[in-house]
Chain A
C-alpha cells in the first residue's frame, strides 16, 4: 500500500513538472507567434512583453537581473503582483518601446516585504550594486526608507516630471524635505462600496450614504442591521485600517509636523476610536479574525458594505453573481472637526529610481512618458483595476465608461475625483510602529473592555519608546 502511494505521488510530481515545463515553452512560443513580423530587437522585445502580459506572467522574457542591466536599452525592475504592477510596468515598456526601439524592462517578481528586506540588507552590507534600476514601494513605507536610507534613491525633484499633475496627497508620500523620490502609481482612494439590494431592503438608496457624517451613518447602520440582519461593516480584528482612513480624512496623523508622536491628546483619534467601539457594541461593525475572513464576508454577503482603498473592488468583483448589486460612494466624515472631509486614502504604491541606476536619463524619460504622461497606459491598466493618481487620466473615455457590476456607474472617474480631494497626512519613519500601537489599543478596548484614555496613553508611550526617546 505504502509503495503504491509513494509511486503515485512520484508519478504526480513528474507529470506536474513536465506539463509545467511544457506550459512555459508554450507561452514563450506564443511570444514568437504573437507578432510574426517581429525580427528586429525592438519588436521582439515588444512581443515578449506582449506574451508575458497576455499570460499575466513576467517570467518568460526575463534575463538574469544582477543589479542594473548591462544593456543600454534595458531597465531592471523589482515589483510584485503579475496581474497588477508587473502587468502595468510591462505595458508601460511596450508603449515606450513604440518610440524607442529596443527598449525593454527586465522584471523580477519580488514581494513588497521582500523588496524592503533586500533594500535594508543591501544598505547594511554597504553594497548597493545589487539594486535594480527601478523598484516599487508601498506608500506607507516610503517615508521610512527615504528618511533612513536616502542613499538608495535618485532625487527626482528637478527631473522634469510634473508632480503637480498627481494628487497632492499621493505625492506627499514620496516627498521628503521638499525632495521628490518617487513617481506615484496606483490609487488607494477610499471608497464606500455598498450592497444596493440590502440598502433597498432597509429602505435606503446609495444617495442616503453620500456626503454624510459618521453620526448619521451610525444611525442608518442600526436600521440596516435591524431590517436585513447584516452588519454594515466588517473589519479585521485589531487592524487599525479603518481608524487610519478616518484620521486621514480630516488631515490628521499619528505624528506632528516635527515628527513627534501625536496619539495622546489627539481629539480626532479619540473620537474615531469611540465611533469604532460604539459600532462594535451596536453590532453594526463585526470584527473577523483575518483578511481572508474579511474578503469572505464581502463575497458571501455577510456584510452590507466595504469601506476601504479602491483596490478592494478587485476582490468584490470576483463574486460575479452579485453584479449590479453594488454601488460606490464616498466615506462618512467626522462631526465637529473643522478639516473633516469625505475622502481618504488606504494603500497604494509609488515607483522609485534607485541610486544604482546607471541610466538615470533613460529611466526618468521612461517614467515621464508613461506613468507621468500616457493616457494610453492608464486606459489599459484600468482593466486590471489599477487606477491612476495622475489627474489627466481621469478625463479619458475609458475612465468615463459605465461599469455594469457597480450599477452602470462611471466609477473610475468618480474615484480619480475622490483622490483629488484627499487630505495628505504625515507618515514618517515610524508609521508602522504607531499604527501597530493603535491597533493594540483598539483590540484591548474592544475585546477586554479596557479604558480608552489609558490605552491611548500607552500607545503614545510605546511609540515614543520605539523611537528611542
Chain B
C-alpha cells in the first residue's frame, strides 16, 4: 500500500507530464479554430474561426486530392513493405546458409547511409528508367528497408521452430507455413511494424518532393509545406492543415496501440 503522500506526488508528477505532452496537441487544435492574428497574440482557448480557416484552406490548396494521395500511397506502401520485409526477416532467421550473416551485415550497413547521400543517384536511376512522377518511383525505395527486415528477423527469433517442424511433418509447404503459421502468430509484430511504416510513409517529404513533380501528386506534408511558403503565413489555416495531417496517423496509432506495445516487446508469449 502506497502512503498518501507518495501517491499525491506520483499523481502530481504524472498530471504535469501528461499536460505537457497534451499541450502541443491542444494548442494545435486551438490555433486551428482561431484567426491568424489571434494565434499570433497567443490565444489559448478554442475560437469560432474553424469554418473560415477550413474554407480558406480548401480555396488555397487541393486538400481532397492531397488526402487521397497520401492515403493511397501510404496504404499500398505499408502492405507491400510488410509483406516483403516480413518474408525477408523470416527467411534470414529460419533458413540456414553460410553467406546469410554477411548479407545481413551489408543490409545493416546500408541502414547507416543517410538518405540525402543516395537521393541523387536514385533520382538518376529513376529518371533513366523514365519513372519520374510515378507512384512506383515514390514507393520502390521504401518497400524494403533494412530496419524492417531487422525487426522481423528479431521477432522471428522468438517464433518456436517446433511449430515449423510439426507443420512440415503435417505436409504444409514452406509458403503455407509462413502464411498460415507464422503470420497469425506474429500479428502484434505486424501491428507494430505497420504503425512505423505507415507513419514514415505518411510523413515522408523530401523524396516525394523530388520525384513527384506534378500538382496531381501532392501529399499532405507537401500541402502543409505550401502553407508556410509565402511572405505572409495564415497561422490558423496552417494549424488546421497540420491538424488534418495528424489525424490519420493518430487513428492508426490508437487502433494498434495495444499491439504496438506488445509487438515492440516481443510477440510470442
Q: Which residues of chain A have a CB within 8 Å of any CB of chain B?
A: 2, 5-6, 9-10, 12-13, 16-24, 27, 55-60, 62, 64-66, 80-84, 107-112, 114, 117-118, 121-122, 124-127, 129-130, 292, 295-296, 299-300, 311-312, 314-315, 318-319, 385
Residue of B nearest to A79 (CB): B229
A64 and B231 form a contact (CB under 8 A) = no
Residue of A nearest to B244 (CB): A16
Which of the segments B6-14, B57-65, B163-171, B173-181 contacts the partner chain?
B57-65
Q: Kindly provide the distance from the CB of A101 to the nearest chain B CB, expressed in whole angstroms.
A: 24
B63 and A20 form a contact (CB under 8 A) = yes
A130 and B232 form a contact (CB under 8 A) = no
Select one of A20, A84, A122, A296 contacting B42, CB under 8 A: A296
A59 and B229 form a contact (CB under 8 A) = no
B231 and A315 form a contact (CB under 8 A) = yes
B58 and A23 form a contact (CB under 8 A) = yes
Q: Kindly provide the distance from the CB of B82 to the nearest chain A CB, expressed in whole angstroms.
A: 21
User: Which chain A positions have C-beta within 8 A of B251?
Assistant: 6, 9-10, 13
Q: Which residues of chain B have a CB within 8 Å of any CB of chain A?
A: 36-37, 40-42, 54-56, 58-65, 67-68, 119-121, 123-124, 127-128, 132-133, 206, 209-210, 213-216, 218, 225-226, 228-233, 235, 244, 247-248, 250-251, 254-255, 257
A9 and B41 form a contact (CB under 8 A) = no
B231 and A314 form a contact (CB under 8 A) = yes
Q: Kindly provide the distance from the CB of B239 to the nearest chain A CB, expressed in whole angstroms.
A: 12
Q: Kindly provide the distance from the CB of B75 to the nearest chain A CB, expressed in whole angstroms.
A: 13
Majority-rule SS of B interface residues: helix
Q: Kindly provide the distance from the CB of A386 to the nearest chain B CB, expressed in whole angstroms.
A: 9
B226 and A111 form a contact (CB under 8 A) = yes
When chains A and B are docked, how far (Å) is the Cα of A124 from the Cα of B119? 10
A81 and B60 form a contact (CB under 8 A) = no
A80 and B254 form a contact (CB under 8 A) = no
B62 and A114 form a contact (CB under 8 A) = no
When chains A and B are docked, how far (Å) is the Cα of A21 from the Cα of B63? 7
A318 and B254 form a contact (CB under 8 A) = no
Select one of A10, A57, A80, A126 contacting B59, CB under 8 A: A57
When chains A and B are docked, how far (Å) is the Cα of A111 from the Cα of B210? 12
Given contacts A21-B64, A121-B210, contact A6 B255 (CB under 8 A): yes
User: Which chain A positions have C-beta within 8 A of B235?
Assistant: 292
User: Which chain B positions have C-beta within 8 A of A295?
Assistant: 40, 233
Ordered by A's residue number, 15 sampled pairs between the chains whose C-beta atoms are within 8 Å are A13-B247, A13-B251, A23-B59, A23-B64, A24-B63, A57-B60, A84-B230, A110-B209, A121-B120, A124-B120, A126-B124, A127-B128, A130-B213, A292-B235, A296-B40
When chains A and B are docked, how far (Å) is the Cα of A84 from the Cα of B60? 12
B231 and A17 form a contact (CB under 8 A) = no
B226 and A80 form a contact (CB under 8 A) = yes
User: Which chain A positions have C-beta within 8 A of B36?
Assistant: 318
When chains A and B are docked, how far (Å) is the Cα of A444 from the Cα of B230? 30
B254 and A16 form a contact (CB under 8 A) = no
B64 and A17 form a contact (CB under 8 A) = yes
Q: A24-B64, A55-B59 are in contact. List 13 more A-B contacts (CB 8 A).
A: A19-B58, A20-B64, A21-B64, A23-B64, A27-B58, A56-B56, A56-B59, A82-B61, A83-B230, A129-B127, A130-B127, A318-B37, A318-B232
When chains A and B are docked, how far (Å) is the Cα of A20 from the Cα of B245? 13
Q: Kindly provide the distance from the CB of A313 to the nearest chain B CB, expressed in whole angstroms.
A: 9
Given contacts A65-B213, A118-B210, A299-B41, contact A9 B132 (CB under 8 A): no
Given contacts A6-B254, A121-B119, contact A114 B209 (CB under 8 A): yes
Given contacts A24-B64, A57-B61, contact A66 B213 (CB under 8 A): yes
Given contacts A13-B251, A17-B64, A23-B63, contact A130 B215 (CB under 8 A): no
When chains A and B are docked, how far (Å) is the Cα of A292 from the Cα of B40? 7
When chains A and B are docked, how far (Å) is the Cα of A21 from the Cα of B61? 11
B213 and A108 form a contact (CB under 8 A) = yes
User: Which chain B positions have C-beta within 8 A of A62?
Assistant: 214-216
B229 and A111 form a contact (CB under 8 A) = yes
A16 and B67 form a contact (CB under 8 A) = yes
Select one of B121, B215, B250 contacting A58, CB under 8 A: B215
When chains A and B are docked, how far (Å) is the Cα of A121 from the Cα of B210? 8
When chains A and B are docked, how far (Å) is the Cα of A107 from the Cα of B226? 13
Select one of A21, A127, A315, A319 contacting B127, CB under 8 A: A127
Select one of A66, A114, A296 contacting B41, CB under 8 A: A296
User: Which chain A positions have C-beta within 8 A of B233?
Assistant: 292, 295
Residue of B nearest to A291 (CB): B233
When chains A and B are docked, how far (Å) is the Cα of A12 from the Cα of B210? 31
A13 and B59 form a contact (CB under 8 A) = no
Q: Kindly provide the distance from the CB of A23 to the nearest chain B CB, expressed in whole angstroms.
A: 4
A118 and B255 form a contact (CB under 8 A) = no
Q: Kindly provide the distance from the CB of A382 to the nearest chain B CB, expressed in whole angstroms.
A: 14
